[in-house]
Amino acid sequence: MGNSEEHRSRARRPLAWNVLAAAGLAGLVVSACSSPAHKDAAPKPKPTTTTSTAPPPACPLTGLPAPRGSVPQRPAMAVKIDNYPAGRPQSGLDKADIIFEEPVEGGITRFAAVFQCQNVALIGPVRSARNIDIGILGQLGNPLLAHVGGINPVLANIGASPIVNVDIGASNSLMIHPPNHVPPDADYTSTAIVYDTHPTMTTPPQPLFTYTTAPPAGGTPASLVHIDFSGTSDVTWKWNTTTRTFQRYYNYLTPDMLDDGVQNAAANVVVQYVQISYGPWAENSGGGLEVQADLYPNASGTATVFRNGVAIPATWHRTTLGSPTQYLDAAGNPIPMAPGRTWVELVPNSIIATTTP
């Protein structure tokens, strides 16, 4: 009995294994039949990456894209340029980043034209330095100041300031003499000549302004600005809706043209009223006294910023020689400039500029 029962049990085992094997085979068949469903499933999306293009470097004194994609590694460079009628038309002002128009003796004006981002082959006519140049240019850090001479007290004060004195009259190699120009308006220079006098100076200036393409709120339409410095400098700025600039004229009607046929123009015109005094030095043989302007320290006054065809009332304030002049709106916020050239008119507060809506 025991052997017979064991025999039957062993005989039944293959049948059980066969059933299990068949079940497993069926499972494989079902699995195999379901495989195409996995192949037809939508592929998972690949992770995407976004890249952003950084804005091109901007010129520190205009807010415009830097030429050739990089800001020149050099300081600001100012050139004193004549603005007496005999010195017109001038050269190079259309390549300047900022131009300061300053009152000097006799009711005339001169320009301190500041270059940094563009190269200019001919700038002039170059004239002598003035004490007011220190106050104007000190906010640019350590700028080069190109000029032709000056009276001893002025040159001594420039030497004691952060401004780097470049007297092009000291060497004929620093001057260009175009044909058909006579003294005192025969001396010209270039950015290459002046920068080559200090090749180890490679630090660009800090911006003086912030920039926006749209004007801030609070401005009123202004199509014309008139500043009557004197009979030789009766200045008018007119808004041009095509060029989106204020264009410069004399006596309302005469375009202020440069010798390359370009009219002087600016994206921004700042009328800054300043307190001036005269002396203690005579600037010329006629006894004209040196003009001194209260530009720092802790100096302030009123101003108007013109941009995008509007006038924005402002106050200005400057704490130290090395700090930039701040032009503030009624709420005390800095007024941004439009990208482009800025022309700062330093107007004696005895003169009132008029605006035409």
Q: What's 185-231 look like in SS3?
A: CCCEECHHHHHCCCCCCCCCCCCCCCECCCCCCCCEECCEEEEEEEC
261-289 confidence digits (pLDDT tens)? 999 999 999 999 999 999 999 998 888 89
Predicted confidence (pLDDT) at residue 29 exceeds the cutoff of 50: no
Predicted confidence (pLDDT) at residue 3 exceeds the cutoff of 80: no
Q: What is the pLDDT of residue 337?
A: 98
Label residue 48 by pLDDT band (50, 70, 90).
low
Q: What is the pLDDT of residue 321?
A: 98
The average confidence (pLDDT) of the chain is 89
Q: What is the pLDDT of residue 50?
A: 56
Q: What is the pLDDT of residue 42?
A: 54
72-95 confidence digits (pLDDT tens)? 999 999 999 999 999 999 999 999
Residue among 219, 199, 215 nearest 339 (CA): 215
Q: What is the pLDDT of residue 228?
A: 97
Q: What is the pLDDT of residue 183?
A: 95
Q: What is the pLDDT of residue 56?
A: 82
Predicted confidence (pLDDT) at residue 300 exceeds the cutoff of 80: yes
- More reliable by pLDDT, 46 or 103: 103
Tokens 């004549």 correspond to: 82
Kindly report each contact of residues 18-25 with a partner whose C-beta sits within 8 Å and lies 24 or more positions away, as own/partner.
Answer: none
Residues 150-157, mean pLDDT to the nearest whole number: 96
167-210 confidence digits (pLDDT tens)? 999 999 999 999 999 999 999 999 999 999 999 999 999 999 99
Beta bridge partners, 355, equal: 225
Choose which CATH entry (3.50.90.10, 3.40.50.300, 3.90.950.10, 3.30.300.30) describes domain 67-356.
3.50.90.10
304-318 confidence digits (pLDDT tens)? 999 999 999 999 999
Q: Does the pTM of the predicted model rise above 0.75? A: yes
Residues 132-139, mean pLDDT to the nearest whole number: 98
The DSSP secondary-structure symbol of 164 reads E
Separation of CA 220 from chain center:
24
